[in-house]
């Protein structure tokens, strides 16, 4: 495992809650002016560091911009392709500062995207991870339940994924009990890690969990099914605490005349989830686990960008790790049509409520990425949060910038919308993929769906999804009204198709991110493969 690079925070040892809140969650109390000042100061420090590095000079030129405005005018937008020659073989000599760790994620083309983390960036990642846990268990401002030794189930990819890094560095800042232990978890497969984690948790209990939302939802669903048949391993139940928990849960479920749920077994203080589907599974998770998950916006190249507050509604940007710029949607569309077009950007104090933007980030603290387009669309849902008193713009993750299906210029459907539509129909499903196709020279949204059960009226299903899309997307509704056409086509895949695809890819040694087809716009060969397996 990676050596200790961070200092332990004694605040958790003495458990000074007031100071813990101020240090970790204090960004929520910043005014917009203060936020912008912090951004400016840290950006100019980063510029000074970057101009002394080969990579920085390649991106920025030989002369360091003197102001934020200069920086935005002089430095071009970048994508990973600009960094790939340097970062793919982890060349440290070109970087503004020597990294302490490297994290990676899978790119669309299958190549790994590496991101260096300096000690300061790792420190920020740790702090933000702890902040997420604090907020996940808070119901009011200043409420801190996080302390040393808490039990945390981690259902996230291990190091060198950024999620693994989060768990690792957070543990250096504040010792906690990882379930399963980090070193063991790193050697396990994803499903085994989940299984083992909850098995251990039966004995140990759970204070917090960090997971992808769908995993929590599926586990919860699985408990519900399991509860009916009461299939717990005998060896598990040998442990008195596990026996106590399960017995208590069974009794409770019997009294309430419902299946046993995870919340009957564990009294979880907080759940931290990342990913586009957290909002979709929020209510389900709340039902199964008894607590609403806290949504966080993290990426490998950026670390934490934003997280929800204790009310678990909009996400607030964190000013310390990255400089944020926002490309308005109309500018983004122009740049999609013309790759040479340099869209204009606005800063956080210029965003407007209700508008969608593509986010552009510049790392602080010696990071590598400058004016980097990570390819995400976000929406500003409010300029303040009156409920919490947070005076910073509130955002939600909208979709990947490159995962949008445009139907006849009316409907621009993103992953979240399609997913929500499928989810809302109530039909149990395994997974899906969608892309734009042409039928009789007309564009359609073709949805390839695998249900969890057979004997479904396909037409009824299609109508149901169609109705959901109309309700969710005004552009889609307009399209239907204007053209009278039905732009949705649904193909039901045979049961087990996605599983077979997964097994095939795993056997071929594919990375975690490529074990299933992308939801939106899968390449032809991937879809063909899926259909072939169906």
Partner 1 sequence: MDLLYDIPPLIGFGLSIILAALVLRQRPRSRLHQVFSLFLISLGLWAFTIFGMRVSPTLEQALPWEKAIFVVLPLVSVSFYHFVTLFTRSRGKGWRLLLAYSSLVLVAAIAPTDLLVIRMREMWYGHGFIPGPLLPVYMLVYYGIVIIALLHVAKAYRLSESSLERTRYLYVAIGVTFTLVGIFVDVLAAGGVRIYPMGIPSNILFSLLCTYAILKYHLLDIRVVVRKGTAYVLVSTLAIGLYLGLVFVTYLFVTHAWSLPFWFNVAFILFIAIGLQPTLRWAQGIVDRWFYRGRQDYLYALESLSDETKAIVDLEYIAQSLVSTTAVAMQCKSVSVLLPDAEEKSFVPVASQGLSQDSSIHIDQNSALIWWLSQREDMVTRQEIDITPQLQALTARERAMLDKLEAELFVPMMTREGLRGIMILGRKLSEQDYSLEEGRMLRVVARQMAATLDNARLYELQMRRYQEQVLLSKLGMTVSSELDLEKVYSHFIDELKQVLTIDFAGINLVNRGDEFSVDTVVLSPLSGRGLVWDATGEFSGAGATEDSSQTFHYLPDLSRGVGFQRDEQFRRVGISSLLRLPLRSEGGLLGNFLLASREPDAYSADDIRLLQQVATQLAIAIDKSRLYESERQARLELEKQDRERTEFINSLIHEIKTPITAMLASSELLREELPADASSLGELAENLDISVNNLNRRVSELTDFVKLRRVEPVLNMQSVNVEQVVKSVASQVAGLLQSRNQTLNLELPPSLAPAQADPDRVVQVLLNLLTNASKFSQPDTKIWLRAHSVNGEVVLEVHDSGLPIGAEEAKQVFNAYYRGKRGGVGGLGLGLFICKKLVQLHGGRIWVETNKSGNSFKFSLPATSNSGGETT
Q: Can you give the three-state secondary structure of 215-279, one letter per residue?
A: HHHHHHHHHHHHHHHCCCCHHHHCCHHHHHHHHHHHHHHHHHCCCCCHHHHCCCCEEEEECCCHH
Which one of 37-45, 201-209, 302-310, 410-418 is the stretch in contact with partner 1 (CB under 8 A)? 37-45
The single residue among 2, 5, 8, 19 that binds partner 1, judged by CB under 8 A, is 19
Residue 491's beta-bridge partner residues?
A: 448
Rounded-to-integer distance, Cα 376 and Cα 400, Å: 4
Does residue number 29 form part of the binding site for partner 1 (CB under 8 A)?
Answer: yes
Cβ-contact 86, 50 below 8 angstroms = no
Q: Check if the beta carbon of residue 426 is closer than 8 Å to that of residue 290.
A: no
Quickly list DSSP for 422-435.
HHHH---EEEEEEE
Which residue, 208 or 498, has its beta carbon nearer to partner 1?
Answer: 208
> What 3-state class would DSSP assign to 365?
coil
Is residue 182 within 8 A of residue 158, CB to CB? The reply is: yes
Cβ 318 vs Cβ 305: under 8 Å: yes
Q: 54-72: b or e for each residue (b if 16 or more CB lie within 10 Å)? A: ebbebbbeeebbeebeebb
Q: Minimal distance in Å, beta carbon 35 to partner 1?
A: 9
Q: In angstroms, what is the minimal distance from the CB of 367 to partner 1?
A: 12
Q: Does 36 bind partner 1 (CB under 8 A)?
A: no
Among 8, 17, 239, 495, binds partner 1 (CB under 8 A): 17
Question: What x-and-dash track marks residues 44-83 binding partner 1 by CB under 8 A?
Answer: xx--------------------------------------
Number of residues this chain uses to bind partner 1 (CB under 8 A): 27
Give the x-and-dash track for 296-325 against partner 1 (CB under 8 A): -----------------------xx-----
Judged by beta carbon, residue 46 or residue 345, the one nearer partner 1 is 46
Nearer to partner 1, 17 or 108 (CB): 17
- Choose which of 27, 71, 198, 304 interacts with partner 1 (CB under 8 A): 27
Binding flag, residue 500, partner 1 (CB under 8 A): no
CB 200 within 8 A of CB 206: no
How far apart are CB 498 and partner 1 at their closest, in Å? 44
Contact between 41 and partner 1 per CB under 8 A: yes
**Residue 53, token pair as written in the block:** 């590095």
Residue whose CB is less far from partner 1, 328 or 366: 366
Please choose, out of 9-17, 71-79, 221-229, 351-359, the segment that lies near partner 1 by the rule CB under 8 A: 9-17
Q: Which of 113, 245, 269, 365 binds partner 1 (CB under 8 A)?
A: 365
In 3D space, the residue among 334, 336, 417, 420 whose CA is nearest the CA of residue 379 turns out to be: 417
- Residues 518 and 476 sit within 8 Å (Cβ to Cβ): no
Q: How far is the CB of 40 from partner 1 (least distance, A)?
A: 8
* Calpha distance 11→148 (Å, rounded): 10
For 477-518, the DSSP string reads HHHHHHH----EEEEEEPTTHHHHHHHHHHHTT--GGGSS--
* Residue 38 touching partner 1 (CB under 8 A): yes
User: Could you say whether residue 30 binds partner 1 (CB under 8 A)?
Assistant: yes
Stretch that binds partner 1, among 26-34, 104-112, 327-335, 487-495 (CB under 8 A): 26-34
| Residue number, 116 or 487, with CB nearest to partner 1 | 116
| Inter-residue contact 162 to 189 (CB < 8 Å) | no
- Closer to partner 1 by Cβ: residue 123 or 343: 123
Report the interhelical angle of 524-533 vs 497-507 (nearest 10°).
120
Nearest to 512 by CA among 188, 277, 115: 188
Q: Which stretch binds partner 1 (CB under 8 A): 39-47, 349-357, 499-507, 510-518?
A: 39-47
* C-alpha triplet 26, 31, 36: angle, nearest 5°: 100
Give the Cβ contact number of residue 475 at 10 Å. 17
Q: Does 282 bind partner 1 (CB under 8 A)?
A: no
Stretch that binds partner 1, among 35-43, 244-252, 434-442, 503-511 (CB under 8 A): 35-43
Among 23, 282, 412, 495, binds partner 1 (CB under 8 A): 23
- Closest approach of partner 1 to the CB of residue 44, in Å: 7
Q: Site for partner 1 (CB under 8 A): which residue of 8, 32, 34, 534?
A: 34
Stretch that binds partner 1, among 16-24, 52-60, 132-140, 371-379 (CB under 8 A): 16-24
Segment interacting with partner 1 (CB under 8 A) among 13-21, 87-95, 134-142, 248-256: 13-21
Q: Which residue, 5 or 477, is less far from partner 1 as judged by CB? A: 5
Only segment of 18-26, 79-87, 271-279, 345-353 that touches partner 1 (CB under 8 A)? 18-26
- When asked if residue 272 is in the footprint of partner 1 (CB under 8 A), the reply is no
Interacting residues with partner 1 between 119 and 178 (CB under 8 A) = 120, 147
- What is d(CA 48, CA 255) in angstroms, rounded to the nearest whole number? 65
Tell me if 244 contacts partner 1 by CB under 8 A. Answer: no
134 vs 213, which CB is nearer to partner 1?
134
CB 433, CB 519: distance < 8 Å? yes
Contact 484, 477 (CB under 8 A): no
Q: Compute how many other C-beta atoms are within 10 angstroms of the C-beta atom of residue 257.
A: 6
**From 17-25, 372-380, 397-405, 460-468, span contacting partner 1 (CB under 8 A):** 17-25
Tokens 């005998």 belong to which residue?
234
The encoded tokens of residue 105 equal 């994620």
Give residues in contact with partner 1 (CB under 8 A). 10-11, 13-17, 19, 22-23, 26-27, 29-30, 34, 37-38, 41-42, 44-45, 120, 147, 319-320, 365-366
């Amino acid at each position: 495992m990676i050596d200790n690079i961070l200092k332990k925070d004694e605040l958790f040892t003495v458990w000074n809650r007031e100071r813990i809140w101020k240090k970790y969650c204090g960004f929520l109390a910043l005014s917009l002016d203060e936020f912008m000042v912090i951004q400016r100061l840290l950006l100019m420090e980063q510029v000074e560091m970057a101009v002394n590095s080969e990579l920085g000079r390649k991106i920025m030129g030989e002369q360091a911009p003197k102001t934020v405005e200069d920086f935005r005018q002089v430095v071009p937008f970048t994508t990973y392709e600009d960094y790939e020659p340097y970062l793919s073989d982890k060349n440290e000599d070109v970087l503004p500062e020597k990294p302490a760790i490297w994290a990676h994620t899978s790119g669309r083309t299958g190549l790994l995207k590496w991101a260096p983390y300096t000690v300061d960036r790792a420190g920020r990642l740790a702090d933000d991870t702890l902040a997420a846990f604090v907020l996940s268990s808070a119901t009011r401002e200043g409420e801190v339940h996080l302390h040393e030794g808490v039990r945390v189930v981690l259902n996230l990819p291990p190091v060198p994924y950024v999620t693994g890094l989060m768990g690792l560095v957070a543990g250096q800042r504040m010792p906690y009990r990882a379930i399963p232990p980090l070193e063991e978890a790193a050697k396990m497969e994803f499903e085994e890690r989940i299984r083992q984690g909850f098995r251990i948790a039966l004995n140990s209990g759970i204070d917090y969990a960090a997971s992808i939302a769908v995993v929590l939802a599926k586990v919860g669903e699985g408990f519900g099914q399991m509860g009916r048949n009461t299939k717990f391993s005998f060896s598990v139940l040998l442990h008195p605490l596990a026996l106590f928990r399960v017995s208590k849960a069974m009794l409770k479920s019997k009294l309430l005349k419902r299946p046993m749920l995870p919340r009957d077994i564990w009294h979880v203080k907080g759940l931290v989830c990342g990913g586009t589907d957290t909002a979709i599974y929020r209510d389900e998770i709340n039902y199964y686990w008894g607590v609403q998950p806290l949504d966080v916006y993290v990426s490998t190249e950026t670390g934490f960008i934003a997280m929800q507050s204790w009310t678990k509604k909009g996400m607030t940007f964190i000013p310390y790790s990255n400089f944020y710029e926002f490309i308005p949607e109309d500018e983004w569309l122009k740049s999609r049509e013309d790759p040479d077009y340099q869209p204009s950007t606005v800063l956080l104090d210029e965003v407007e409520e209700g508008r969608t933007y593509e986010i552009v980030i510049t790392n602080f603290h010696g990071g590598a990425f400058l004016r980097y387009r990570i390819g995400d669309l976000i929406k500003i849902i409010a300029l303040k949060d009156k409920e919490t008193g947070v005076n910073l713009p509130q955002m939600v993750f909208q979709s990947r910038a490159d995962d949008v299906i445009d139907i006849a210029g009316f409907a621009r459907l993103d992953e979240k919308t399609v997913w929500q539509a499928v989810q809302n129909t109530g039909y149990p499903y395994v997974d899906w993929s969608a892309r734009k196709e042409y039928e009789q020279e007309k564009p359609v949204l073709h949805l390839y769906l695998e249900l969890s059960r057979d004997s479904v009226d396909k037409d009824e299903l299609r109508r149901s999804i169609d109705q959901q899309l109309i309700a969710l997307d005004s552009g889609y509704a307009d399209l239907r009204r204007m053209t009278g056409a039905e732009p949705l086509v649904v193909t039901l895949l045979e049961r087990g198709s996605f599983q077979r695809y997964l097994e095939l890819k795993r056997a071929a040694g594919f990375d975690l991110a490529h074990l299933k087809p992308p939801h939106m716009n899968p390449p032809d060969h991937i879809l063909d493969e899926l259909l072939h397996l169906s």
